[in-house]
Amino acid sequence: MTPSADARPKAVMGTDMRTHLGATQIPNPVLTASGCAAAGRELDPFLDLTALGAVVTKSVQLRARSGRATPRMSETPSGMLNSIGLQGPGIDELLRTDLPWLADRGARAMVSIAGGAVEEYAELATRLRGARGMVALEVNISCPNVESRGEVFACDPAAAWAVLAAVRAADPGVPVYAKLSPDVTDIASVARACVDGGADGISAINTLLGLVVDTDTLRPALAAVTGGLSGPAIRPVALRCVWQIHRAMREIPILGMGGITSGADALQFILAGASAVSVGTAVFGDPNAPERISHELANALASKGFARLSDAVGFAHQSVDFPA
């Protein structure tokens, strides 16, 4: 089926940008991305945090983590490779300073949690239950910079299910998104396992595992050898993942991310099936990027005649009737 031009929505003045994280309505579909905005505070001089859909905070763990040795980053064509190793002060500090600061500011927080074991995720969700200003949990089961790469939860549907089921049991009410890795054979089956475990939505995608070799030192550029690749270089991979997940589960909301630097990029994710997007690496080059992109996305949707953002979610699938 190929929709004719007049099957498309008519032009409208402004577009209703409201969307949802699980059952929670948010006014703007553009969020920051975990690990690319710290806990929001550093971006405050450059944009209105309260206007964003939410600030997605850097993945927090139970204990303080130093992160990895340097060098931690290498710039790549239209991207960057990083291995920070989830440096952060731990859940106590997040609850004591960062979340109250965001809440006092009037910003919504989507809190990313990470752990080395199922029980750690459950304990983090328990600690965060009812935290002021928190609108959703993002469960990071796909950080490529953990010590045992082969044990990344998101690479095994059963392990992914176990983490999401534990988080759901720890906090039955909060909207929960599972953040997935593209480095799997069948991302849709991992997404389905997460939903079966209790996830309300899927965040896609985390970085791709990559490597850069320094031709001056003749060694890997990063101290950790491998790192996570992000930026526009991975955008087509991210879009493919969002497409496949939406194809498999039309009713499950997707927070799409991977190399979004413009409103047109964000629109691609919406059309592929995302109901909200995160802006990550673009923030490093332009700390105002999430705000700029949300304006550009609103304009792009209006110019294509969409009265509501929700009308555009997955729209690109209408023209494709074969299985992905």
Q: Which is nearer to another protein, 87 or 303 (CB)?
A: 87
Q: How near is the Cβ of 7 to another protein at its closest, in Å?
A: 32
Task: Tell me if 155 contacts another protein by CB under 8 A.
Answer: no
Q: Which is nearer to another protein, 34 or 244 (CB)?
A: 34
Q: How far apart are CA 26 and CA 28, in angstroms?
A: 6
Q: Which three-class secondary structure state does DSSP give residue 79?
A: strand
155 given a catalytic annotation? no
Q: How far apart are CA 235 and CA 262, in angstroms?
A: 12
Task: Tell me if 73 contacts another protein by CB under 8 A.
Answer: yes
Task: Tell me if 78 contacts another protein by CB under 8 A.
Answer: yes
Q: How near is the Cβ of 253 to another protein at its closest, in Å?
A: 26
Q: How far apart are CA 284 and CA 228, in angstroms?
A: 15
Q: Which of 7, 11, 23, 64 binds another protein (CB under 8 A)?
A: 64
Q: How near is the Cβ of 71 to another protein at its closest, in Å?
A: 6
Task: Tell me if 71 contacts another protein by CB under 8 A.
Answer: yes
Distance between start and end Cα atoms, the chain: 15
Q: Which is nearer to another protein, 100 or 305 (CB)?
A: 100
Beta 134-140 vs 109-113: how paired, if at all?
parallel
Report which of 99, 102, 82 is spatially closest to residue 35, judged by C-alpha positions: 82
Task: Tell me if 263 contacts another protein by CB under 8 A.
Answer: no
Q: Hunting for tokens 């929001």 — which residue is that?
A: 40
Task: Tell me if 208 contacts another protein by CB under 8 A.
Answer: no
Q: Which of 79, 133, 197, 198 binds another protein (CB under 8 A)?
A: 79
Cβ–Cβ under 8 Å, residues 316 and 274: no
Q: Which is nearer to another protein, 117 or 225 (CB)?
A: 117
Task: Tell me if 116 contacts another protein by CB under 8 A.
Answer: yes
Size of the site for another protein (CB under 8 A): 49
Q: What's the DSSP call for residue 318? A: G
Report which of 34, 188, 25 is spatially closest to residue 111, judged by C-alpha positions: 34
**Phi/psi of residue 219, each to 5°?**
-135, 165
Which of the residues 143, 155, 194, 241 is marked catalytic?
143
Residues in Cβ contact with 281 at an 8 Å cutoff, skipping those fewer than 6 apart: 33, 36, 79, 80, 230, 231, 259
CA 69 to chain centroid: 25
Q: How near is the Cβ of 280 to another protein at its closest, in Å?
A: 10
Cβ–Cβ under 8 Å, residues 246 and 255: no
The 27-56 contact track toward another protein, x by CB under 8 A, reads: ---------xxx---xx-xx----------
Query: Which stretch in 64-72, 105-113, 298-306, 316-324 sits in contact with another protein by CB under 8 A?
Result: 64-72
Cβ–Cβ under 8 Å, residues 109 and 128: no
The 215-244 contact track toward another protein, x by CB under 8 A, reads: --------x-------xx------------
The dihedral formed by the CA atoms of 167, 88, 184 and 248, expressed in degrees to the nearest 10: 50
Q: Which residues bind another protein (CB under 8 A)?
A: 36-38, 42-43, 45-46, 61, 63-73, 75, 77-80, 82, 84-85, 87-90, 116-117, 146-148, 151, 223, 231-232, 261, 281-288
Show which residues are catalytic: 143
